[in-house]
Structure 1
Amino acid sequence: MPSTQGRTPVTVHITTTAPPLIVDLDGTLLRSDLLLESGMAYVRHKPMSLFKPLSWLLKGKARLKEGLANATNLDVAVLPYDPEVITLIKGEREKGRAIVLATASHHSLAERIAEHLQLFDRVFASDSDRNLSSHKKRDLLVELYGERGFDYVGNSLDDISVWKSARDAYVVNPESGVERRAAAQGNVKQVIKSNPSGLNHWMKALRLHQWMKNALIFVPLLAAHQITNPLLIWQCILGFLLFGLCASSVYLLNDLLDLADDRHHASKRNRPFAAGRLSIKSGLIAFPALLVASFAGALLLLPWQFAGVLVAYYVLTLAYSLSLKRHMAIDVISLAILYTVRIIAGAAATGLELTFWILAFSMFIFLSLALVKRYAELREARKKGHTEKTRGRGYYPDDLEMISSLGASSGYLAVMVLALYIHDQSTNALYAHPQVIWLACPLLLFWITRIWMLTHRGQMHDDPVVFAVRDRISLVVGALFALVFWVAA
């Protein structure tokens, strides 16, 4: 019989003759799957030992669960529990019923969750020798409580056999086809649908609003004054879409790897995967599908150089997600490079040459914006009284002043690059009135100064690029900036 040692059972006075209420964990009490949770945590913290779990799996699923549970340290306090299931449990406990947690997850995780919630009288879970799912769970419950001697709360196809032997069945956020099969057994007492996953959750997970960053792909086209070339415009549009698919794939993978950190963040904890609105399984299917579609389209529809840039972008983003973003300075420089890679992708898609000026300007301006993002996070941490290193980052709240100094300096260096660009010989060849570009310098100075002042005042709550697209003053400055270059041409 699966062990329940290592946890002190909750002591209650049973005052009812009603059979015990047996509650499943993954997908029922928890809007997630602990096997996949621990698997993603393992990949996140031990990427160099990525294939070791395969050796555990060869010894059986129970051994895999034990290996992952022992190799990771999930914070059970922030896992996405289903509030309606907890309400159901508390209501039955108040009636004096015995409540039992029976799960296929590893017993060490199940016991920690029971200890945290303080809702269960007993815990049955998998160990190194037994994977307590489906028929094995049913056989154990029937052995202990008898046929029809318990009520069962579950959600999946594995629970069908358990419901068959239960007195009453409670169906929670059922997987496809589960509700129909459970209903056919005639003992469904309640169906709880508390966690619908819709298109809006996928749009949020794919971060379609972040695709606006891919507009940088059009920069080489604008800089070369080829905006009226229909073929190049079409290539840029294709590049924009394919880069967006690749970026969304990265966002999904990043969210799956960052579940623990996101759940400790004031706003990121509401992301679809962190909140359990979308299943980890669906994310593991979606992110490689988007990646394959992106690279297939790049190889078939655009020059091979564009696919090469996509590879570089993906590798750097993966490195950023796994490691680089946790290292001081390296993280913001990596972000600046990732923005600049989008400009390089535009040049690769169209076959246009990039200039030193574009690359230098991009690095400095986006380094400044990356530092804006870090400043906003650290300011919030300091406001809450934190003094320790921020979770998942390489900075302390006391770094605020240095970050603001570096960020403003980097933004002003971008203005200097723009000023030097005006005097370049190639600029004189491209523009009829290059001296007019000088008007762009005070516009950019104003915008950078304003961004940093708003950040310093605590009014920068979004990604600064997203903020700029939504901010009316930023849009006016952007329009004037474009007008200056149009007049100069």
Structure 2
Amino acid sequence: MPQILSQPESRTAEIKPLCVDLDGTLVKSDTLIDSLLVLTRTHPFILLRLPGQILRGKAAFKAIVTDHVALDVAHLPYNRKLLQFLQKEHSQGREIYLTTGADARLAQRVADHLGVFREVLASDGTHNLTGTRKLASLRDRFGAGAFVYIGNDTPDLPVMAGAAESMVANPSRRLRMKLRAQGITPSQAFEERREPLRSLIKALRPHQWAKNLLILLPPLLAHNHSVRLLSAALLAFFCFCCVASGTYMFNDLLDIETDRRNPKKRFRPFASGDLSPAAGLAAIVLLLTLGFAAAQFLPAAFSFWLLLYLGSTLLYSFYLKRIALIDVIVLSALYTLRLLAGGAAANTPISHWLAGFAIFLFLSLAIVKRFAELENLRLTGMQLKNDRGYLMSDIEQIRAFGTASAFAAVVVFANYISGPDVTALYHHSPRLWLIVPCMVLWLCRVWLLASRGELNEDPVAFALTDGASLAMGGAVLAIVLLAM
């Protein structure tokens, strides 16, 4: 049986005990789903054995998951409005009980962390404390209609109907409808969740689609401006945006607990509990289906590169991103892969010089992202969570790798614009040399900001919002037009 937490016994007899649900109510997410996502990332092979355990019952299944995953209760996405209300009631001497279908060990850890609950009533590995079973348990504990209950979804409906007073926290649409049908009016509502469509759009990371513009470069750099080829390139861009967004969402689901510990990433839709994993999985399936269905209208070679991109990003999400140096090499390769895919879609092979330039440039950008993460942690004095394979002592060596790669990209670009292919395409090709100082200035500026701890995001996303970067990009475009 869960232990009883210490609490003063002073409370007026008229105040009924307050019983609070956990999943979707006190916490905006579902702790069982969160635990399964953590298990998928940390012990995927154990996850494969779990379906057979469901036959033992839902309570036993929850207990088995809790055996393998110790969810970080300190960083769960709590409903702050509800939590403030509970803290106020607790300070006034009211008895508050955590009554949940979650496993008792997990629920007890939540109660110990928050310190407002007198007792925990939860699933014990044999009995799943939800619905009518939860109602019976509360009646046995307090008597019929002698408690107040706070819930969020239809499984809470029997308990709310049997309570003296009911409240809701982020109630589902189904619960609202059924409460209305039964004439139950909650006395209070604790709403703290962003609009689902807005959260879904944020989870897609549309700002990252700028990386997929690389797909358009092969036909543009080859000066092949036929409508057919440009249409093919745009369709390829659409396919990559769909698949990339699907992989971003999948990565966010796997990193849900890690993101909650990060001061910025904790506001991501899945980490914050604003978007459910079920909605995310449905969106992932839809996005991947759209991407690969549209790819059927392009050459088969493009589908190969798209499939390779998907496989590489999944492998990166599961494993490779935790291996130092391998992670940044994979990231840079994914950029180059976009160029190859664009060339395949438009039947326009890319120059080996362009491929080499892309590898060195994007390797530098991938490294600067890792460098900035370490430097920002060092400057703020935060503890390094070593889930990326890097140590704080690696900073100077990482800086050396990244800056060397940046200048290697400049050298390769200088050789590229001096080649016969480029001189044949541009009437004033020597003017392209004006791009070199723009590149040097931008790359040095990015590394300088990172060294100062002022680069707080992906360098590509930074470039899209930084005025100086946009100005240099405009200058490069103007130089290209003058060279033509």
Which TM-score band applies after superposition, normalised by the shorter structure?
A: over 0.9
Residues 19-76 of structure 1, C-alpha deviations (whole Å, 9 max, x = no match): 2111000000001101100000000101234411112123222222111111112111
Q: Distance in 1 between matches of 2:141 and 2:52?
A: 34
Q: Deviations over 1:296-343 (max 9, x none)?
A: 2212x2222222212111111111111111111011111101111211
Query: Residue 398 of structure 1 is aligned with which of 393, 398, 406?
Result: 393
For residue 281 of structure 1, the aligned residue among 260, 278, 286 is 278
Q: Is the 8 A contact 1:261 1:391 kept in 2?
A: no
The Cα of 1:366 is off from its aligned counterpart by 0.5
State the Cα deviation string for residues 370-402 of structure 1 (Å, max 9, x = none): 11111111111111235x654421112222211
| Counterpart mapping for 1:440-455 below 5 A | 440-455=435-450
Distance in structure 2 (CA, Å) of the matches to 1:185 and 1:127:
33
Shift of 1:96: 2.5
1:425 aligns to 2:420 (yes or no): yes
Maintained 8 Å contact 2:354/2:416: no
Normalising by structure 2, we get a TM-score of: 0.95
Is structure 2 residue 244 aligned with structure 1 residue 247?
A: yes
- Residues of 2 paired with 1:294 and 1:351: CA distance? 19
- 1:99-114 matched pairs, under 5 angstroms: 99-114=96-111
Alpha-carbon distance between aligned partners in 2 of 1:91 and 1:110, rounded to the nearest angstrom: 21
Could you say which residue in structure 2 is the equivalent of 1:64?
61
Note if contact 1:171-1:179 (Cα within 8 Å) is conserved in structure 2.
no
CA-to-aligned-CA distance 1:243-279 (integer Å, 9 cap, x gap): 1111111111111110111111121111111111112
Report if aligned partners of 1:163, 1:169 keep a CA contact under 8 Å in 2: yes
Contact 2:35 2:66 in 1 (8 A): yes
Alpha carbons 1:368, 1:410 under 8 Å: kept: yes
Q: Which runs of 5+ in 2 are unaligned?
A: none
Counterpart pick for 1:194 among 170, 173, 192: 192
- The separation in 2 between residues aligned to 1:26 and 1:369, in whole angstroms, is 40
Residue 267, structure 1, aligned to residue 264, structure 2: yes
**Counterpart code for 2:69:** T
Whether contact under 8 Å (1:138, 1:165) holds in the other structure is yes
> Is it true that 1:361 corresponds to 2:357 in the alignment?
yes
Relative distance call for 1:443 and 1:94 in structure 2 (3 A) is closer
**Matched residues in 2 for 1:95 and 1:429: separation?**
82
List runs of 5+ in structure 1 lacking aligned partners. none
CA distance in 1, matches of 2:157, 2:146: 16
Code of the aligned partner of 1:252: M
Q: Which residue is equivalent to 2:153?
A: 156
RMSD over aligned CA atoms reads: 1.7
Query: C-alpha displacement at 1:467, in angstroms?
Result: 1.4
Q: Which residue of 2 aligns with 1:29?
A: 26
Cα distance in structure 2, aligned partners of 1:366 and 1:62: 49
Q: Quick check: 1:216 aligned with 2:214?
A: yes
The structure-2 alpha-carbon separation of the partners of 1:476 and 1:194, relative to structure 1 and needing over 3 Å to count, comes to closer
Aligned residues: 482
Aligned to 1:88: 85
Which of 220, 229, 233 is the matching residue for 1:232? 229
Instruction: Tell me the CA shift for residue 8 of structure 1.
Output: 4.7
Alpha-carbon distance in 2 for matches of 1:366, 1:139: 61
1:16·1:95 contact (CA, 8 Å) conserved in 2?
A: no
Which letter maps to 2:371?
Y
Asked if 2 retains the 8 angstrom alpha-carbon contact of 1:107 and 1:125, the reply is yes
Q: Larger deviation: 21-30 or 318-327?
A: 318-327
Aligned partner letter, 2:430: Q
Match of 2:367 in 1: 371
- Residue pair 2:4, 2:120 contacting (<8 A) in 1 also: no
Which amino acid is 1:483 matched to?
A
Mapped pair 1:136 → 2:133:
yes
Residue identity in the other structure for 2:8: V
**CA–CA separation in structure 2 for the residues paired with 1:285 and 1:131:** 27
CA distance in 1, matches of 2:66, 2:380: 32
Identity %: 39
Residues 280-299 of structure 1 correspond to what in structure 2 (within 5 A)? 280-299=277-296
Separation in 1, partners of 2:270, 2:250: 10
Aligned 1:378-397 pairs, distance under 5 A: 378-386=374-382, 389-397=384-392
> Counterpart in 1 of 2:336?
340
Q: Match for 1:48 among 45, 49, 53?
A: 45
SS at match of 2:56: coil
C-alpha displacement of 1:431: 3.3
